[in-house]
């Protein structure tokens, strides 16, 4: 199995949003999307598995990044999940 993490990190807002293809959360399939508040994961979500060249995977993820980051829900200035 190939692995990758593609993360968007904003330290000043304690935000991490990322797609992870790894073996840490098989209940979400081959790829999951997650949002973190600092070091704490607040939500995982299944994500589309893209079966193509790694550069194409990166291109497709970057194309969707703005929508995913703006879908993060907030409470008391903290990230709490997604509104996908």
Strand partners, 32: 20, 46
How many domains does the chain divide into? Answer: 1
User: Would you say residue 51 lies in a domain?
Assistant: yes
User: Would you say residue 83 lies in a domain?
Assistant: no
User: Would you say residue 26 lies in a domain?
Assistant: yes
pLDDT value at residue 21: 95
User: Would you say residue 77 lies in a domain?
Assistant: no
Percentage with pLDDT > 70 across the chain? 99
- The widest CA-to-CA distance across the chain, in whole angstroms, is 40
> pLDDT (tens digit, 9 = 90+) per residue, 16-47?
999 999 999 999 999 999 999 999 999 999 99
User: Would you say residue 29 lies in a domain?
Assistant: yes
**pLDDT reading at 1 higher than 80:** no
User: Would you say residue 78 lies in a domain?
Assistant: no
User: Would you say residue 74 lies in a domain?
Assistant: no
> Mean of the pLDDT values across residues 67-83?
96
Range of the domain at 32: 4-68
Q: Are 33 and 68 in contact (CB under 8 A)?
A: yes
User: Would you say residue 33 lies in a domain?
Assistant: yes
Binned at pLDDT 50, 70 and 90, residue 84 comes out as confident
How far is it, in rounded angstroms, from Cα 34 to Cα 48? 13
């Amino acid at each position: 199995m190939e692995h990758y993490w593609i993360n968007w990190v904003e330290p000043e807002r304690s935000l991490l949003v990322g797609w992870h293809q790894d073996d840490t959360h098989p209940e979400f399939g081959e790829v999951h999307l997650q949002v973190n508040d600092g070091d704490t994961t607040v939500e995982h979500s299944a994500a589309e598995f893209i079966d193509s060249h790694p550069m194409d995977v990166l291109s497709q993820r970057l194309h969707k990044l703005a929508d995913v980051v703006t879908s993060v829900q907030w409470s008391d200035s903290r990230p709490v999940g997604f509104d996908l």
